[in-house]
A and B are shown apart, each in its own frame.
Chain A
Amino acid sequence: MASTPSTAMTALRSVVKAGETSKMGFLRTFSRSAPAPQTPYPFSSTALSKSSPTPNPTPNLLSPRKGAGLINHINEQLRETYDAKSLTTTLFSRRHKNRILAGSVMTVTSYTSSARTTTSTFSGVLMGVRRRGIDTAFRLRNVIAKVGMEVDFKVLSPLIKEIKVIKRADGKSGLKNLGRAKVGYLRERPGAMSQIASALKTAAK
């Protein structure tokens, strides 16, 4: 290497000053130009205080780190339009404290046509949540007239009027925490299903 580390650093710093922060974001810490303090530090006049948080720079979507930038950006934009109730970030998220767990009992009221005049309801046990950003869906299972029926609902469908959780499977409010994300094994256990479904009847009363 011909150039010494110091000259290389100076060269890089000037590039950083030019404003190419996104491409060489890791060098922002070496920047000489400190932004003017907007909130004065109350306990000392000489101390430099952190400026007010700068807004997030527009992510460089063409060459993001680990390739995840574009999809996340698209999902964020789509969520603003379609997820007014923030369902994907609360009820159907992976780690939110109020996320629904498989085995819970839910009711979905959905419009039957795009005219949004009549509605139909479907209640059932949550078999699992399929998380795909805008395409997030969940599956409810119910037994109607001795015939089992499963319905896949798209969470952010504009034709869904209301998603109501009747009983959560968290081990506290009556239903056992089944301890897994997908509970397809309940199809072969009608006893367990009827136990869970009895929560529906008590809720209806």
Chain B
Amino acid sequence: MIGLKGRLNVIDNSGALIAECINVLKVKTKKKSTGFATVGDEIVCVINKARPALRAESIGPTTGNIQKVRRGDIRRAVVVRTRKSELRPDGRYVNFDDSACVLLNPKGEMIGTRVNGIVSSALRDLPGGAGGPGGRWSKVLALATKVV
């Protein structure tokens, strides 16, 4: 249940560490937007904390993790884990120890190339097939360490 001012861990390799939600985008399947995002919902967030950007003159081979975002950047993200328990179709309630997101560009594609950590499998069961094979979040699910 991420709303305004809600903080999330960023679990991709875009360089951001903590994002703060500033807006919850409308979900087509819901009649009325609640103002809160759960797993699978898109949010607009501002990067509160990011990995220190490497200087151009730094010695050493590039690791491939080029800094894509900086502190204060405004980006879109999809929520992948929540501390608030979510109801699964089989009747279980699942919640995680933290809330996490994966950053997206304005088109809705992932900015980072890797997802570090587990991702809620509620991402898979989204209505409209967003989570299924070929859906919007299929890349996130494929890259995640584990989908639980």
Contacts and interface: CB of A to CB of B under 8 A. Distances in A.
B91 A149 contact: no
A151 B118 contact: no
Interface string A27-60: 0000000000000000000000000000000000
A145 to B, nearest CB: 5
Interface stretch (B19-27, B64-72, B95-103, B129-137): B95-103
Given A149-B95, A149-B118, A144 B146 contact: yes
A154 B92 CA distance: 7
A146 interface: yes
Contacts of A113: 89-90
| Chain B interface residue bracket vs A | 10 to 19
Q: Is the interface of A mostly helix, strand, loop or mixed?
A: strand
Contacts, number: 48
B85 A147 contact: no
Interface string A127-158: 00000000000000000111111111110010
B8 to A, nearest CB: 13
Contacts of A159: 90-91
B148 A149 contact: yes
With a 10 A CB-CB cut-off, give which of A111, A147, A153, A187 has the most chain B CB atoms.
A147
> What 6 A-B pairs come out closest when comparing CB atoms?
A148-B97, A152-B93, A159-B90, A145-B118, A157-B91, A154-B91
Interface of B: 81, 85, 89-98, 100, 117-118, 145-146, 148
